[in-house]
Amino acid sequence: MKVKIKQWSGVASWLWVANDENCGICRMSFNGCCPDCKVPGDDCPLVWGQCSHCFHMHCILKWLNSQQVQQQCPMCRQEWKFKE
Amino acid sequence: MNSGQTFVVPRELPAAWDAVTEALVSPGPSGPHSEESLSRALALLCSHSLGQCVEGWLLETMQVRLTSAVAPEFWAGLEQPENELEERDRARILLGAFRTLLGRLEPFLGGLEQLGAWQDEGPGGLCGPGALGLRERAFSVIRAILLFSPAAALQERVLEFYSRTFAVHMSREGEGQEGPPGADRGLCPGCATPPQHCWCQDALEELRELSHILSRLQLLERVSSEAVTSILHRLIEQRMERRCRGEYESSFLSDFQEWLERVLGWLSRVFVSEAGVGVPCPSVAQEGMAPEGVVGGEAGQPGSAVLQRWRCHMHQFFCRIYVNMRIEELFSIIRDFPESKPAIEDLKFCLDRTSQRQQLLTSLKSAFETRLLHPGVHTSDIITVYISAIKALRELDPSMVILQVACQPIPCTSAATREDTVRQIVASLTGDAEGCSDLANELSRADPVTLETQDSEDEGSDPEEWTPDPTDALTDKTGSKRRSSDIISLLVSIYGSKEIFIDEYRTVLADRLLHQLNYNTAREIRNVELLKLRFGESHMHYCEVMLKDVADSRRINTNIREEESRLAEEEQPPLALSAMILSSEFWPPLKEEKMELPPLVSRAMEAYTQRYEKLKAMRTLSWKPHLGSVTLDIELGDRTLTNLSVSPIHAAIILHFQDKSSWSLEELSEVLGVPQEVVRRKLALWQQQGVLREEAGGRYAVLETGASRERPERGVLLIDSDEEGDSNTTTQSEQREEKLQLFWAYIQAMLTNLDTMTLERIHSMLRMFVATGPVVTEMDVNELQAFLQRKVRDHQLIVSAGVYRLPKSNH
């Protein structure tokens, strides 16, 4: 017997490769989106800091903009620098 | 006049008295006495103040004669005939009795006329009530004496006679009286006798004469009303039974209107004298068909008032009878709704004229309960009838009160007890359910009523047009605002909230997207857009993301395909794999099932994942091996099965058989990582197809040749039956159970801290603390109570005096 598979349509879900499940700022799931966004994924990406913490990009930008003096990671209080 | 004179009786006074009284009781003015002698005599009487006595004497004489002779004679004349007599003879006797009666009373009536005339002229100070008053008094006396104890015989005779003349009249009018007894035996349709003995004409003549006599004696109303009423009632009922029962697809109003006008023709014969002698009866009937029954042109005629009154009565009868019948049939009418619209319109017309709303409500409600709301009825039928009811009652009662009251049990029973209701509604809403396109059409209606704005004040409507609710409206706090006539909002309101509804829609949508997997979403997009118009943008957000996932998946697939096609021949992937990539947070929870795919497939998936990771930085894929669909060909020794479309687990099984042609259940179960029971079930499909067979010792082997049961049809979609109803998403109740389990943790924590809590307290605390997520966390007190009761039964909770606490051992 020979089985020839013409087409295999699978189902998968995507997820961020992150060390946490929820964004530390908005507490929403990384696989969801930040409160301001409607669509997850490309439209609401994650960013990583050099301290290895990651957040929704929109969340951390909002946070950084609100910081007057020094821009720190909200989790570890180290100076925030984007990874790469 | 002085008192002394009264004792002196003038010689000529007795003579004058005799002259006057004789003139009064002998018919005709041309008695033995001439005009002037009479007036002289009258003047003499008056001068002796005997004018009053003349009147008294006349009435007294009449009364005595009536009691002693006329009335007994009349009754005897009526009773005299025996039952063997023919109908025709009975009619004649009836008429004869009245004729005699008139003959006997005629002299007195003449005398009354005369006396009245004298009194009106007032010659010689003769005073009295005048002609009119006098007549009235006399007729009261006649009625009183004659009909003091009317015998049943009179009513019977009159009824019989009128019925006959009615038949005659209607047959003359061309009505034909379809199906009278004996019409097929060549009998006259009017009098039901053989044609040579037909007495139709006579009957009409007799009717005419009788009417004259009765009206002359002012007995018409008294004698005829009852008979006429019962005849009309009976005939309308008969006709209605014959014509309208079970017929909902045409309007009977104008038909009946016409018929009633013809009946009016007969009435005008009965009341002919009052309607004006000599007026040809049908002329009355020719007047307008206005249902309100205003015959303008006839208003001036004497007696038209009587006819007018009868006409109103008739309409009233008609409406009442019609409403009664339709109320009985209302359930069937609703069931047939779009076709039965004429019946609904008729009913609406008539219902406005009778006060039978309450009757309709109770009857409809009980009809629903007995015919619809029992366990034997399929949910989709309930919904279909409910939708019909909404539509039909919307026509019947724009205020929707009837719907709200009568259909109240529908939502309560069906929604509370049946889990598949929401799914049914959603399915028919999106046009999936067969034969139920109503909702789909409703959804795509041009001007959807958004559920959002309904909650707010409707400022748009003109305050002048406001009408109060009918008195039978339910007095609920929501008031009339909530009673919308929009089918979808009504259906949604069954479930209390849009959220449940939308959640269900999301599940249905997920199912459908995962089943077809062809990235063709035009219809779903349309549905989502339409639903958005109703439920508001924000609620449909999740669905939009789902649809976007489908579009994105297609793009990613093309991307990856392209990349693969650039590879060298030997690096081409062994499997054409495409994927539906979901944003897990936005899809309803999918069933988790573990399954090991054959290496060939898992390798292809890994390769796909790698390419995806390259495409989308920092993201990876988590495959759901049991979901999806596979198209494959199977080449066997002597035959080929092509384009089979199966589920991944079926494909995985058959792929294993490619490597090794005989497997035991245990082996398969182990290599697939799936329980044996499931494997056995899935194997059934391949056995059915004649690809595998079960051998001794519980092993399965490939049937390379000679499949006796080869199926002629190829390329069909093969989904075995037990899977058909299977959805890929967890069911509503499973989700709820999960949610409640989450609550249980909260409840335990709260009770540990606070020791005891009431139901309301727990509910409000939960509402406060449990954040709303994609899963509906809405829960009403009753549900919570049921849940807590369950926990109490499981001894995980103690309830006493209305407060809950944890059992001691748990501490």
CA distance A66 to chain B (A): 27
How many alpha carbons lie under 13 Å from residue B686 in its C-beta half-sphere? 29
B117 touches chain A (CB under 8 A): no
The answer to whether B123 and B43 are in contact (CB under 8 A) is: yes
**For chain B, which ranges sit under pLDDT 50?**
1-5, 176-184, 274-302, 450-460, 477-482, 709-725, 773-776, 810-811
Rounded CA-CA distance B800/B798 in Å is 7
- β-strands A46-48, A54-56 pairing: antiparallel
Residue-level pLDDT at B33:
59
In 3D space, the residue among B633, B645, B652, B431 whose CA is nearest the CA of residue B523 turns out to be B431
SS3 category, B509: helix
B519 touches chain A (CB under 8 A): no
Residue-level pLDDT at B447:
55
Q: Which two tokens stand for residue B664?
A: 């035991």
Name the residue in chain B with its Cα closest to that of A29: B585
In 3D space, the residue among B445, B430, B350 whose CA is nearest the CA of residue B396 turns out to be B350
Rounded CA-CA distance B574/B566 in Å is 15
- Torsion angle (degrees, nearest 10) of CA B337, B342, B343, B344: 70
Q: Which two tokens stand for residue B713?
A: 């049809």
Helical spans, DSSP H, in A1-84 = 57-66
The answer to whether B298 and B318 are in contact (CB under 8 A) is: no
C-beta atoms surrounding B738 within 10 Å: 12
Residue B261: partners with Cβ closer than 8 Å, 6 or more residues away? B285, B286, B287, B289
Q: Taking CB atoms and an 8 Å limit, are A1 and B658 in contact across chains?
A: yes
Helices B12-25 & B35-47 angle (0-180, nearest 10): 120
CA distance A76 to chain B (A): 22
Helical spans, DSSP H, in B122-149 = 130-146
B548 touches chain A (CB under 8 A): yes
Name the residue in chain B with its Cα closest to that of A11: B580
SS3 category, B158: helix
Read out DSSP for B536-580? -TGGGHHHHHHHHHHHHHHHHHHHHHHHHHTS-GGGS-SS-EEEE
- Residue corresponding to tokens 């998968």: A12
The answer to whether B267 and B307 are in contact (CB under 8 A) is: yes
> Which residues are paired to B596 by β-bridges?
none
Q: Which residues, numbered 388 to 417 in chain B, qualify as contacts with chain A under a Cβ-Cβ cut-off of 8 Å?
A: none
Helical spans, DSSP H, in B566-647 = 599-615
A84 touches chain B (CB under 8 A): no
Rounded CA-CA distance A29/A23 in Å is 6
**A21-51: pLDDT as tens digits:** 889 899 888 888 888 888 888 888 889 988 8
- How much is the pTM? 0.60
What does pLDDT average to over chain A? Answer: 87
A18 touches chain B (CB under 8 A): yes
Q: Taking CB atoms and an 8 Å limit, are A13 and B582 in contact across chains?
A: yes
The answer to whether B635 and A1 are in contact (CB under 8 A) is: yes
Taking one residue from A and the other from B, the number of pairs with CB-CB distance under 8 angstroms is 146
B585 touches chain A (CB under 8 A): yes
In 3D space, the residue among B211, B93, B80, B101 whose CA is nearest the CA of residue B146 turns out to be B101
Q: Taking CB atoms and an 8 Å limit, are A8 and B604 in contact across chains?
A: yes
Residue-level pLDDT at B141:
78
**B683-713: pLDDT as tens digits:** 888 888 888 888 877 788 888 776 554 444 4
C-beta atoms surrounding B405 within 10 Å: 21
In 3D space, the residue among A78, A46, A42 whose CA is nearest the CA of residue A61 turns out to be A46
Establish whether this prediction's ipTM goes over 0.95. no
DSSP H or E segment with residue B387: helix B379-396
B601 touches chain A (CB under 8 A): yes
